[in-house]
Amino acid sequence: MNLGISRVGVWMMACAGALLALPAVAAEPKIGVVDFQRLAIESPQGKAVSDSMRAEFAPRERTLQAQGQAVKAKEEKLQKDGATMSEEQRARAEKELRDSAREFERSKSEFQDDVNARRNEELSRLQRTIAEEVRSYGKAQGYDLILASEGVIYNASASDITPAVLSALQARGAGAGTAKPPASAPPTPAKPQTK
C-alpha cells in the first residue's frame, strides 16, 4: 500500500513540475481587422485612381452621350414627321435610325468594356499598394493576424486598424504625389517595400 502511494505521489509531483514549467499565461495573439473597401475609397491613392479614370474616360463618355442624343433626336423626328413622309423617305429614315442605334449600342458596349478593363488594372494595382501598407503596418505594430472585414462576422471596434492604415496611406500619398501617368504609357506598378 505504501508503494501505491509513492507512485501516485511521484506521478502527481511530475505533473506539477510539468505544469510549473509551462508559462503562467500564454500570450494572446494580436489580431486586427481592416476594411479594404474603405481604404480604396478614402485613401489618396484610391482617390487618384478615381480621378484618373474619370479624366481618362470623360471625353469618350461625352461623345457617347452626344451619340445617344442624336439617336433619340432621329427617333423623335421619325415619330413626328413619319406620317407626312413618303414611303421611300420613311424607309430611309427607319434604316438610318436602326443603323445609328446599332452603332450607338456597339460604341456603348466597347466603352463599357474599356472602362471595366482599365478599372480592373487600376484596382489590382491599388489593392497591391493597400495590402503592402497593411502588411507593413501589421509588422511594425506587432500584429499576429490581420483579417479583411468583408469575411469577419463580428469585430470589436478596438481591433479595427483601418483608420491607422488610412493615416499611413494618406501620409504616403501626400509625400509621393498623385500625378496621373501619361495616357500613352501604362502606369508603372507600385514597387514593393523591402522587408
Could you report the per-residue pLDDT of 173-185, keeping only the tens digit for each?
766 544 444 343 3
User: Cell numbers at residue 59, please?
Assistant: 471625353
Q: What is the Cα–Cα distance from 61 to 112, expressed in whole angstroms?
A: 10
Predicted confidence (pLDDT) at residue 129 exceeds the cutoff of 60: yes
Helix (H, G, I), strand (E, B) or coil at 43: coil
Predicted confidence (pLDDT) at residue 28 exceeds the cutoff of 70: yes
Q: Which fold has domain 28-176?
A: Protein Binding, DinI Protein; Chain A (3.30.910)
pLDDT: which is higher, 11 or 87: 87
Residue 26 is predicted with a pLDDT of: 57
Residue 6 is predicted with a pLDDT of: 52
What is the model's pTM?
0.63
Q: Where are the domains of the chain?
A: 28-176
Average pLDDT of the segment spanning 38-46: 94
Contact 174, 45 (CB under 8 A): no
